Structure 1
Amino acid sequence: MMRALLTGVLLISILFFPFAQTALCFQAEAALETPSHAKWGKLAVEKVREAYPSANIADYFHIGRTEEAKTAVESFRLWMKEGSKEYGLLVMITYDKQTERVISIKISKIS
């Protein structure tokens, strides 16, 4: 009885283990993929650092993307610290979807 139970557990482990490894590999690959908004987030951070050189970026959040027929807008929220002051910034990057050419970058303070 005990031998049959151990054999069953061993057989299930041998059959299941390769599938478990494959599932873990897919999860690891998905975690390593670069999000589609990453290049726009990098640009947003660059422009904010140029506009607010004495402030530090404390937090960064991708709000999302809105799309029109030919253009898209990537929106980001950055939380800034400058001395004892803290404030939020909204960065909106409008670009041509086909060429990815930047049309405009708007930075505004959030109250």
Structure 2
Amino acid sequence: MSQRYPKAITGTARAGVLLALLAIAVWTALAVRAEQADAADTTYHKWSLIAIEETKHKYPQASLVDYLHIGRTQLEGGLSEEKFKLWLRQADREFGVFVTVRFNDAEDRLISVAMSETPR
């Protein structure tokens, strides 16, 4: 003869199982999003280092306060551009610099680096 649990216990156990499944689903979704973010970061990482290095050459007395990856633009002929905004501090002045890194996608080869200070 099988023994049955009271309905209240069965309902509580069922809610616990559902809560555990929900927690597993959320944990999995967060892990997938983190992995996708890491993959996205690596696509422009090399070009961000070049942007920072070239900015250091142009502004050797400035220190880097912050930087922002603006985005990638696909150009014709297999070329792409990564755009960044770097915020610098030099003496008593803080200012922004837009840096555009142009490169050949297929060859992963640098073509040019262009910079311009922000108006404010």
Q: Is TM > 0.5 for Structure 1 vs Structure 2?
A: yes
Task: Give the percent of matched residue pairs that are identical in Structure 1 and Structure 2.
Answer: 29
Distance across 1 between alignment mates of 2:72 and 2:22: 40
Q: Which has the higher helix share?
A: 2
Residue segments in structure 2 that go unaligned for 5+ positions in a row: 1-6
Distance across 1 between alignment mates of 2:67 and 2:30: 29
Determine helix, strand or coil for the equivalent of 1:75. Answer: strand
Residue segments in structure 1 that go unaligned for 5+ positions in a row: none
Give the 4+ runs in structure 1 shifted more than 6 A: none
Find out whether 1:45 has 2:52 as its counterpart: yes
Of residues 83, 101, 104 in structure 1, which corresponds to 2:112? 104
Q: What RMSD in Å do the two structures reach over aligned CA positions?
A: 2.1
Q: Look up the equivalent residue of 1:80 and give its one-letter code.
A: L
How many pairs were matched up? 111
Length-normalised TM-score, structure 2: 0.77
Higher CA-based Rg: 2
Closer, same or farther: CA 28–55 of 1 in aligned 2, 3 Å = same
Length-normalised TM-score, structure 1: 0.82
Cα displacement (A) at 1:23? 2.9
* More displaced 10-residue stretch of structure 1: 35-44 or 12-21: 12-21
